[in-house]
Amino acid sequence: MIPAALAAVLLAVPLTRLQISTAHGVTEIPLLRLRGDGPLVSLNALALGLGATVERGDPWVTLQTAAGRFRFLAGTALVQDGVTLRGLPAVSRRRGDSLLVPLAFVAEILASATRQAWTYVAATGVLREGGGVVPIANRPSRTTTGDEQRSRLPGGLRPEHHVTIDPGHGGTDPGNPGMFFPRGMKEKDVTLSVGLLVRDELEKRGVRVMMTRRTDTLINLGQRAPKYCTGDCDLFVSIHVNSLNPRRGYQEVRGFETYFLSEARDEDAARVARMENGAQRFDNPITETKRSNDLDFMFKDLYRGEFLRGSQQAAAFIQSFLGEVHDGGNKGVKQAGFAVLNTARRPSVLIEIGYATNREDATLMTSRDGQRKLASSIAVAILAYLKEHDKEIADTALGTGP
């Protein structure tokens, strides 16, 4: 079992983030607290910072690291460390597609003195790589050269990544009015605040970020992706707020969903697309228009097909990580014909981070703490997508990719 003294320290110290320090830099992971259990950490985010993998099962969820294999029995306070079943001070809780595990697992088991792969400083919440030699049998099969390692960013990313963040609406286009938002606040204000926080989180990790807008200004829907996500842009992310028209029980509906561009599969997805595409009525007249022809449509289809898989993959990461901080319900990855995504020539997604017509969602989206949680989870999801993208490039270069 985890020593009672250590459990008491972990419960008493008001840590808000776990910092993972490796040769590639520092990765910060927000900590959660549920039902007085003490700090919990997302296993998905922990795996990303450790360079590890997560295998989801029922009821076991496995964390495979270079230092060992750990199996969590979801819904209990048990973890299997090798062949030994050990206790934790709180249960591991499923949240969306991930598992939230007690921070004590990091402090006492992952960073154990006998394993000597990691050291943990409880006072600062820093998990530092080192303290011993990882057995050769547990090391990753593929290694990088010293020059490659030195050029990597925190979390092991390549340094040339570029992401575009698009805060929805702006200027004369307020977005939806925000039934339960504070007086004077509109959707355009929420998306800008969250978008700027996502930018800050990504830039801290060395990712280059282009904002379609940094102030309360109007950018035409059709110009956002082609103007701000070109060349070496890896991903276009548009942030929005959902809402419902008055009907029976409409204020009770809440949750989050992430879209990629394709034909809508259900009426609700089509409704969201119509709502967001309605912003075209605010677009400024374009003085120079490019006439579309058959060749334009052909190239659009080629681009769409090439980046469809990346868009789906990015949307799945975002849904998974948002599910760890948003208690409104995971409404899943969906598809619909959004005008803002229609002109994208790179992987692109649109996120509806909650319902302005629901009081709980509105509080999450407008409080500073809620915005930071949402932005941090979106940023970590983007990092996970970029890391997977790097892996696919490396596998292709080695001839092991698809």
Residues in the chain: 402
Per-residue pLDDT tens over the stretch 51-85:
888 888 878 899 988 878 899 988 888 888 877 78
Q: Is 299 domain-assigned?
A: yes
Per-residue pLDDT tens over the stretch 214-229:
999 999 999 999 999 9
SS3 56: strand
Domain boundary among 82, 117, 149: 149
Lowest mean pLDDT among 144-148, 282-286, 363-367, 382-386: 144-148
Angle subtended at Cα 286 by Cα 280 and Cα 292, rounded to the nearest 5 degrees: 85
Q: Is 111 domain-assigned?
A: yes
> Which amino acid is present at 315?
A
- Let me know whether 166 and 311 are in one domain: yes
Which residue do the tokens 């990346």 mark? 310
Q: Is 157 domain-assigned?
A: no
Lowest mean pLDDT among 156-165, 174-183, 203-212: 156-165
What is the torsion angle, in degrees rounded to the nearest 10, for the CA atoms of residue 220, residue 221, residue 222 and residue 227? Answer: 70
pLDDT at 396: 54
> Which amino acid is present at 165?
I
Tell me what the mean pLDDT of segment 90-113 comes to. Answer: 87
Q: Alpha-carbon distance 118 to 345, whole Å?
A: 42
Q: Is 228 domain-assigned?
A: yes
Q: Contact 330/256 with Cβ under 8 angstroms?
A: yes
- Let me know whether 90 and 184 are in one domain: no
* CATH number of the domain enclosing 119: 3.30.457.10
Domain boundary among 149, 177, 201: 149
- Let me know whether 221 and 262 are in one domain: yes
Q: Is 235 domain-assigned?
A: yes
Q: Alpha-carbon distance 229 to 236, whole Å?
A: 6
Is the pLDDT assigned to residue 132 strictly greater than 50? Answer: no
Q: Alpha-carbon distance 254 to 361, whole Å?
A: 6
Top pLDDT among 114 and 351 is at: 351
SS3 217: coil
Which residue do the tokens 């009672």 mark? 4
Per-residue pLDDT tens over the stretch 351-372:
999 999 999 999 999 999 999 9
Cα distances (angstroms) measured from residue 212 to each of 40, 126, 250, 287, 371:
34, 35, 32, 20, 19
- Let me know whether 9 and 36 are in one domain: yes
DSSP letters for 8-45: HHHHHS---EEEEEETTEEEEEE-EE-TT--EEEEHHH
Which of 26-30, 158-162, 211-215, 283-287 shows the highest mean pLDDT? 211-215
- Let me know whether 138 and 166 are in one domain: no
pLDDT at 305: 61
- Let me know whether 369 and 232 are in one domain: yes
- Let me know whether 145 and 167 are in one domain: no
What is the torsion angle, in degrees rounded to the nearest 10, for the CA atoms of residue 156, residue 334, residue 349 and residue 321? Answer: -30
* CATH number of the domain enclosing 351: 3.40.630.40
Q: Alpha-carbon distance 21 to 85, whole Å?
A: 28
Q: Contact 165/209 with Cβ under 8 angstroms?
A: yes
Q: Is 155 domain-assigned?
A: no
Q: How many domains does the chain have?
A: 2
Q: Is 156 domain-assigned?
A: no
Give the residue numbers spanning the domain of 15.
4-149
Secondary structure element (H or E) that encloses residue 254, with its range: none
Lowest mean pLDDT among 141-150, 151-160, 208-217, 317-326: 141-150
- Let me know whether 88 and 215 are in one domain: no
- Let me know whether 234 and 321 are in one domain: yes
- Let me know whether 175 and 295 are in one domain: yes
Q: Is 319 domain-assigned?
A: yes
pLDDT at 13: 46
Beta strands in 74-130 (DSSP E): 78-81, 84-87, 93-95, 98-102, 118-121, 126-129
The pTM is what? 0.69
- Let me know whether 68 and 168 are in one domain: no
Mean pLDDT of the chain: 82
Per-residue pLDDT tens over the stretch 229-253:
988 899 999 999 999 999 889 999 9
- Let me know whether 174 and 143 are in one domain: no
pLDDT at 56: 85
CB atoms inside a 10 Å sphere around CB 221? 24
Domain boundary among 108, 126, 149: 149
